[in-house]
Amino acid sequence: MASSSVSAAIKQFQIIYPDFINKKKSKAAGRLLSKELCLENPTATEIYQCCLQLGFQTVLEPDRCYPRDPFSAKGRVRVLIKDSTKAYVPKSEFDKSGHAPMKEAYPTKLSVLRAVCKMIPNLQSRKEPQKPKEEESDAPVFSNKKDKRKGKKK
């Protein structure tokens, strides 16, 4: 019984996919903001951390993917942006309805996305340089391939 009430409450959360703020995606592919504001390859965990820092109730769903591009980055974040006291609000009426935003500074999904785009570059995971794989270029390369030319001299 408790899980059904939790799942009903989560349905009121709005969904944010990493493709919404990916600079490499086109508007037709699902990007919602301008390229100047967007980031390259954001992850769902980064969006989740930023939404928690903003003070929103959030749920990370790492196994879900964006329906328009199922092979892109995995994960999505559910964020409670507007307080809805009704049991069900159709998506077409959600923004038009008189529901009060949870945070006055972020009344819409686009305002939350703009704030997240400003916060992600300051995350510690983005500041740390990626360590390249160490390859030994000085070591000789050995091959087990034999000369396939039978009977021919070099």
pLDDT in tens, 75-104: 999 998 887 655 455 556 555 556 677 777
Query: How many angstroms separate the most distant Cα atoms in the chain?
Result: 86
How far apart, in Å, are the Cα atoms of 95 and each of 11, 101, 105, 109, 110?
15, 10, 16, 9, 11
Question: Which runs of consecutive H residues, i.e. helices, occur in the chain?
Answer: 2-10, 44-54, 91-94, 109-119, 124-127
The pLDDT score that the predictor gives to residue 22 is 93
| pLDDT value of residue 11 | 80
Mean pLDDT, rounded, for 29-42: 92
Q: Which domains does the chain have, with CATH numbers?
A: 8-126 (3.30.56.30)
**Which pLDDT score, from 0 to 100, does residue 1 have?**
45
| CA–CA gap between residue 113 and residue 20 (Å, rounded) | 8
The 10s digit of each residue's pLDDT in 5-17 is: 567 678 888 999 9
